[in-house]
């Protein structure tokens, strides 16, 4: 059983506990900090979208279709589906001469409640461009169009569009993708399970580009620059990824994944971080991500105070009274890095 990473206090007693694991790794593969089972295979889900975006640049597809930093950042997104995200998705479709039905992510309402209510108020329903993974799918479509591959079924395991990012994963994380357990993600593309340590290792190599060739290193540089410049496109309003990178990029680049996952790269330190909560919840994962960044000196107290709603939230009752708090467990935050 993994240790407790986050405690939920009500009054003077702990009411709930969030268990999980944390790995902080350098680009040589050395563990800088490890807590919990970091060798257990886990699905990083959308937390590795930085890796999945590499072929978009590496193939020359982004340059061919004149995509800019906004499109590159959007290819890494798990976005809210706000107007700014929907407009960019539709602009991208036009650039590659594709229709919205070519997106194989499925149709959803915007993840952002206000945007969803606005859409429904206009008498419109779910759209594929509103799917939080539409940017990733646009990146996959774009490489297919550029390389003159069929766009039908690009989401499937054996399609070249998937094999390209499998190659990136093999290079950065030192895994054999075809031998990893796998399933289909919420947006319909394959997701591969690997040890948490390997995800953090891959993020560390993404951070300082250790062991990658010149073309891949250039692609990674472009992705780092894009997400640092446009953090709002990576997530949106009331999202920790955006709030963190608005304050800490380019020193810290962070990406959430479904089911309580976070991954981050620290280019200046050459470190990678991976966090997985056993219960699959974002509440505990947000707090754990903040605690790690504070512990390794990448988040100062003033920034932590600005991000309190995410990383150290209060619990209030229906009267608006503060009745509790959520905080990282001292079992692991007191450990020196």
**What are the per-10-residue average pLDDT scores of the chain (337 residues)?**
97 98 98 97 99 99 99 99 97 98 97 92 93 99 98 97 98 98 98 99 97 96 99 98 98 99 98 99 98 95 97 98 97 69
Question: Could you tell me if residue 184 is inside a domain?
Answer: yes
Tokens of 42: 């886990």
- pLDDT score recorded for residue 211: 87
Question: Could you tell me if residue 145 is inside a domain?
Answer: no
d(CA 265, CA 227): 12
Question: Could you tell me if residue 137 is inside a domain?
Answer: no
Q: Largest Cα–Cα distance in the chain?
A: 63
What letters, b where the CB count within 10 A reaches 16 and e where it falls short, cover 201-221?
Answer: bbbbbbbbbbebeeebeebbe
Question: Could you tell me if residue 298 is inside a domain?
Answer: yes
Question: Could you tell me if residue 66 is inside a domain?
Answer: no
CATH code assigned at 318: 3.40.710
Question: Could you tell me if residue 185 is inside a domain?
Answer: yes
Question: Could you tell me if residue 143 is inside a domain?
Answer: no
Provide the domain count of the chain: 1
d(CA 62, CA 256): 24
Question: Could you tell me if residue 268 is inside a domain?
Answer: yes
d(CA 159, CA 151): 9
93 contact partners, CB below 8 Å, separation of at least 6: 99, 100, 102, 103, 129, 138
Write down how long the chain is: 337
Phi, psi of 5 (to 5 degrees): -100, -35
199: domain range? 4-60+156-333
DSSP-derived 3-state class of residue 128: helix
d(CA 238, CA 51): 24
- pLDDT score recorded for residue 336: 55
């Amino acid at each position: 059983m993994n240790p407790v990473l986050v405690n939920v206090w009500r009054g003077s007693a702990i009411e709930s506990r969030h268990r999980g694991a944390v790995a902080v790794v350098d680009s040589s593969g050395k563990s800088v900090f490890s807590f919990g089972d970091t060798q257990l295979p886990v699905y990083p889900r959308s937390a590795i979208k930085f890796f999945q975006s590499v072929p978009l640049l590496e193939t020359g597809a982004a340059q061919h279709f004149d995509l800019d930093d906004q499109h590159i950042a959007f290819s890494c997104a798990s976005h809210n589906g706000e107007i700014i995200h929907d407009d960019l998705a539709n602009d991208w479709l036009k650039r590659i001469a594709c229709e919205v039905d070519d997106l194989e992510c499925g149709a959803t309402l915007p993840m952002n409640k206000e945007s969803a209510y606005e859409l429904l108020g206009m008498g419109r329903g779910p759209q594929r461009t509103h799917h939080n993974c539409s940017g990733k799918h646009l990146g996959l479509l774009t490489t297919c169009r550029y390389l003159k591959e069929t766009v039908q079924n690009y989401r499937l395991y054996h399609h070249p569009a998937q094999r390209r990012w499998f190659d990136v994963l093999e290079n950065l994380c030192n895994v054999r993708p075809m031998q990893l357990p796998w399933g289909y993600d919420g947006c319909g593309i394959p997701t591969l399970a690997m040890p948490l340590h390997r995800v953090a290792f891959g993020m560390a190599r993404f951070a300082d580009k250790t062991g990658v060739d010149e073309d891949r290193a250039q692609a990674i540089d472009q992705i780092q620059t894009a997400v640092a410049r446009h953090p709002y496109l990576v997530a949106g309003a009331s999202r920790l990824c955006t709030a963190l990178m608005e304050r800490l990029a380019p020193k810290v680049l962070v990406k959430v994944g479904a089911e309580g996952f976070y991954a981050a790269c620290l280019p200046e330190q050459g470190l990678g971080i991976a966090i997985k909560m056993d219960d699959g919840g974002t509440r505990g994962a947000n707090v754990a991500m903040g605690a790690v960044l504070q512990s390794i000196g990448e988040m100062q107290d003033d920034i932590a105070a600005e991000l309190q709603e995410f990383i150290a939230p209060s619990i209030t009752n229906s009267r608006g009274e503060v009745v509790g708090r959520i905080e990282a467990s001292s079992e692991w935050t007191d450990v020196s890095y």
